[in-house]
Structure formats: C-alpha cells, structure tokens
Amino acid sequence: KPDLMDKIVSLCKRRGFVFQSSEIYGGLRSAYDYGPMGAELKRNLMSEWWRFMVHSREDVVGIDASIIMRPEVWQSSGHLANFSDPLVDCKVCGERFRADKAPRKAEGEDAPITLDKSRAKAAQDKLTEAGVKLHREGATLTGAKAGAAGYVCPNCGSPFMSDERRFNLMFRTSLGPVDPIGDVVDIVRKAMAEGADDKALRARVEGALAASSVYLRPETAQAMFVQFMNVQQSLSLKVPFGIAQMGKSFRNEVTAEHFIFRSCEFEQMECEFFVPPGEGPKYLEYWMGERMKWWKSIGIKEDSLRFRKHDDDELAHYSDGCYDVEYKFPWGWDELEGIASRTDFDLKAHSAGSGKKLTYFDPEAVDPATGKPGRHYVPHVVEPAAGATRGVLAALCDAYDEEPADAEGKGARTVLRLHPRLSPIKVGVLPLVKKDGMPEVARKVVDAFFTAGVNAKYDEQHAIGRRYARHDEVGTPYCLTVDTQTLQDDTVTIRYRDDRRQERIKIADAVDTVRKALTE
C-alpha cells in the first residue's frame, strides 16, 4: 500500500505540480521542476509571504539581490570555512553519507556482522583488498572491529567506513573567461618539476581555483547585510527595520531527501530585522508570534505546527537564541523555518571583511558611554528564515485528503484542500457541453475574472464529473458551470470543492462571490 508521500509524489506528477528535473534523461538527483500547477502554487505561497512581510508593514522593505556574489562575502560570513557537512564513505558499497545523520553502532563493537547475502562476499573481497582481515561464513563476517567512528552504512549495513571528511556545501563556479582545468594542469606541471609534495601541490591548486571562484549563494541572507547601508540610507530607515528577500539558494546536499523537502536548488524567504543592541531576545519572541501567525494564515493546520527550541550545543557561537517552526510531515516533525537572534555577528563580520563601517546613528538615543544624546551602534539582527519550496511541500501534505464514497452516492475522491489563496486555479469555468453558445458565455465569465485579477480557467474537456474531479485534485476551490438554464436567466452553478455543494448564482455576482472568499 503506497504511503502518503508516495501518493503526494504521484499526484504531483499526474496533475502537473512537480516533475523530476531532466526526467527523460534519467532524472537529476535532487533537482525538481515545477509544472503548470506547482509554479502557480509556489508563486502564490511566496507572494503571500511578501504581502505579509513587506506590503502589510511599514518597517520592512524588500530587495532582490544577485545569486552570484564576491567570494569575500562568504569568507567574512564564515561559509567558506564552516558551511560543510561531515561525510564518510562506506568501504563496502561506496555509499557516501552524512556522518551526523547516520545511525551509529555502539563504539568499539566487534560482534559478528551479518550483511545482505549478495553483499557479503563482495564486502570480504573489498575489505581484504583494503587490508582489513576478516573471516566470512555465509553472510556473516567476523574478526574486524567496526569502523573507528562506529557508523553503520545506511545502504548496506556494513560498519566499515572511511575517516570523516568535511565537504563544503557551496556550489563553486568561475566568473569570466577562465579555464580552471588549463590553469590546474599548468600549476601541477610546475609544482611537480619543483618536487612539491602532495600537500604543497594541493595548496597551490586550491589557491588557483579560489582566485577565480565565485559561489552560488547558499542562503539569501547575506545580501541584506552587505547592502545594509545602501538600503538604510536610500530610504532613511529607522531601526528597528527589516530587509526581506526571497529567491533561489543552492546547496550541494549529499543526502537529498523527502522529495522537494531537501533539494540542491531551492527557494527561501528570509528577513533580516535590525534592532538596537540588547533587544534581540524581545524581537525573537515577537517574530516567533508573527511567523506562526503567517503559517496558519495560509491554511496550515494548527495541530501540524510547533516550535522547537535549539539546545545550547546546537546554537551557533554568536547566537543567543533560536527556534525552528516545525511541521508534522508524513515522516515526522521537521524544520520549515528557523528564527534566530544573531546578535551583531553579521554586520561586524562584513564590516571587518570589507573595511567599511556598517553602523547606525540614532540621534534620539542616549550614548551609554557619554550619557549624551546621539548614539552610533552596530544593530543586532533577528532572522526569520523560511523555506519556500519546503513550504510548498507542507501545504501539499496538509491539503491532501481522500474521501471514500458516501451513502448519498458521492464517489470516492482525492481532494487538495488548499487555502484558496494558494490554489493554482481559483475558479474553473465549465461549459456543460461544447455547443449551444455555452463556450462563448463561459469564456466571457473567464474574461470577467481575468479583469478582476483572479486566475480562472476555461475547461471543456471530458464529462462534467471528470472535470470536477480534476479540479478537486489540483485544489480549485470553485467551479462555475454554464448550462442550458444559464442561457435563459444568466445564472450559473457554483460548486464548492470542500463539500461538493452546488447552488445557483447570478453571473453578475460570480466575481464578487469568489473575491470575497479569497480575502477572508
């Protein structure tokens, strides 16, 4: 029996929400394409965020920065040095996985290990080759201590691992007409002629690559720090204020998992909110409230949302508090958004890195050092950082519902109970038959919705029941049906997705009826 995630993935493909990237070539791991319905859903979710975070507030402004930034940005932010995952390779099957996410065995355990039968012989051969001595009887291997780190391979179950290595998650590319391979060949040739050892050789190659490298941003946040002065000055903004941005980010994730939950290319919605020193904890609490309000406002069920406080050992060294908003996904509670109090770490780091002052002058505040009015300071930051594509998955999981056939003769169906503001199509306009002037009337109704800025879709394919079913599956909250009576009295049937109720309304009232529901 397929589980809920399988059903959602299958609905996504069947109805044009999400496809595997490059599918006809075998698919690209961890990258996804949003189809006609998914593109609308993602746009709607992101514009709801923008409306709430930027348009509805006087103290937050939005920017749209470039994805490629100078490498110094990532040097100063700490991403070049620290934004990495610890990885180990399984010596038996070659699987590479994240050490911090792997199931562990008890340290030092050397009990017999039973592998998948087909793998045991191969494992013995490989390990013998690698200099590990062990005895095999059938599928059971004995005589070798479990890998020093005590990990168990999530693929084949073997405990024989390489040492841990750290891999940076940023995608590196080069800007300008450089030929990194040609450069590297030259460097290697020269270094070898000079008798450089492996370590020296590595350092030189790394240096040459770094010199021509730029990185795709792994988060949208840094541009808000780097452009802090430009944004603050161009609009004469007064602290507290925030800079918001949404868009693509890239992380070379080793364990892409759970469909679009974790992918290498994804979208984020982040806000850096600048506050006076000492007020981080207060605003952290404030933003927790606001952000939870927003997730509920887009229809996510209250029972499926919660906060998780970060333990002290999880906190970055500069942070004085962090909470995740978690959603109850089909596989368990997992992160949707992080809300962190980041002190003055970011602006100070970029100020040190760039040599430019990133401070704020408040003429009304009292300088604590002199006791006089007028205070220069480095603002502290509270950051609500949400995943947009992860939000799309949460919205899909939350909205997915199956109804069995009932006694009144209503058939079984799958329905996406999306909040109408997220629904890809707000209104399906369906002529009962493709003749007698019904298509013409229906198209006029669609035009009226278009003029009103509401996405309505004309739909005449297949029998009416199948059309309703299709709209239920993509979450269309209303369908309007044009029939014979319409031609006589200018009324249509409105059908409600959630309870399949139908009633007649005047065509003239249709736009207002739907618009009212969308603003509720």
Enumerate binding residues for ligand ATP (CB under 6 A). Answer: 219, 251, 253, 262-263, 266, 268, 335-338, 385-387, 389-390
CB of 393 to ligand ATP, least distance (A): 9
Using alpha carbons only, give the angle 104, 106, 111 rounded to the nearest 5 degrees.
Answer: 110
Choose between 247 and 420: whose C-beta lies nearer to ligand ATP.
Answer: 247
- Check: CB of residue 431 under 8 Å from CB of residue 441: yes
CB of 13 to ligand ATP, least distance (A): 19
CB of 385 to ligand ATP, least distance (A): 4
CB of 395 to ligand ATP, least distance (A): 13
List Cβ neighbours of 306 (8 Å cut-off, separation of 6 or more).
Answer: 325, 326, 328, 333
Quote the CA–CA distance of 292 and 305 in Å, as a whole number.
Answer: 8
Backbone angles phi, psi at 246, to 5 degrees: -135, 150
Longest CA–CA span in the chain (Å) reads 94
CB of 267 to ligand ATP, least distance (A): 8
Choose between 160 and 287: whose C-beta lies nearer to ligand ATP.
Answer: 287
Closest CA to 447 of 462, 458, 431, 432: 458
Which H helix or E strand runs over 509? helix 507-519
- Check: CB of residue 401 under 8 Å from CB of residue 417: yes
CB of 251 to ligand ATP, least distance (A): 5
Concatenating the DSSP letter of every residue in 135-180 gives EEETTEEESSPPPTT-B--TTT----BPPPEEEE-SPEEE-SS--H
- Check: CB of residue 61 under 8 Å from CB of residue 242: yes
Choose between 60 and 430: whose C-beta lies nearer to ligand ATP.
Answer: 60
CB of 315 to ligand ATP, least distance (A): 12
Quote the CA–CA distance of 242 and 106 in Å, as a whole number.
Answer: 47
Choose between 389 and 493: whose C-beta lies nearer to ligand ATP.
Answer: 389
Choose between 218 and 475: whose C-beta lies nearer to ligand ATP.
Answer: 218
Choose between 15 and 291: whose C-beta lies nearer to ligand ATP.
Answer: 291
Quote the CA–CA distance of 66 and 64 in Å, as a whole number.
Answer: 7
What is each CA distance from 517 to 396, 478, 496, in whole angstroms? 20, 10, 11
CB of 5 to ligand ATP, least distance (A): 16
CB of 141 to ligand ATP, least distance (A): 34
CB of 390 to ligand ATP, least distance (A): 4
CB of 252 to ligand ATP, least distance (A): 9
Choose between 119 and 350: whose C-beta lies nearer to ligand ATP.
Answer: 350
What is each CA distance from 127 to 74, 178, 219, 459, in whole angstroms? 40, 42, 40, 62
Which residue's Cβ lies closest to ligand ATP?
Answer: 387
- Check: CB of residue 127 under 8 Å from CB of residue 91: yes
List Cβ neighbours of 394 (8 Å cut-off, separation of 6 or more).
Answer: 300, 304, 327, 329, 336
- Check: CB of residue 85 under 8 Å from CB of residue 266: no
Choose between 262 and 497: whose C-beta lies nearer to ligand ATP.
Answer: 262
- Check: CB of residue 336 under 8 Å from CB of residue 394: yes
CB of 469 to ligand ATP, least distance (A): 31
Choose between 153 and 336: whose C-beta lies nearer to ligand ATP.
Answer: 336
CB of 387 to ligand ATP, least distance (A): 2
Choose between 41 and 479: whose C-beta lies nearer to ligand ATP.
Answer: 41
Structure tokens at 142: 């004995």
Structure tokens at 78: 């700490």
Quote the CA–CA distance of 171 and 264 in Å, as a whole number.
Answer: 9
- Check: CB of residue 149 under 8 Å from CB of residue 90: no
What is each CA distance from 167 to 56, 83, 197, in whole angstroms? 41, 8, 23
Choose between 88 and 385: whose C-beta lies nearer to ligand ATP.
Answer: 385
Choose between 389 and 476: whose C-beta lies nearer to ligand ATP.
Answer: 389
- Check: CB of residue 52 under 8 Å from CB of residue 115: no
Choose between 394 and 442: whose C-beta lies nearer to ligand ATP.
Answer: 394
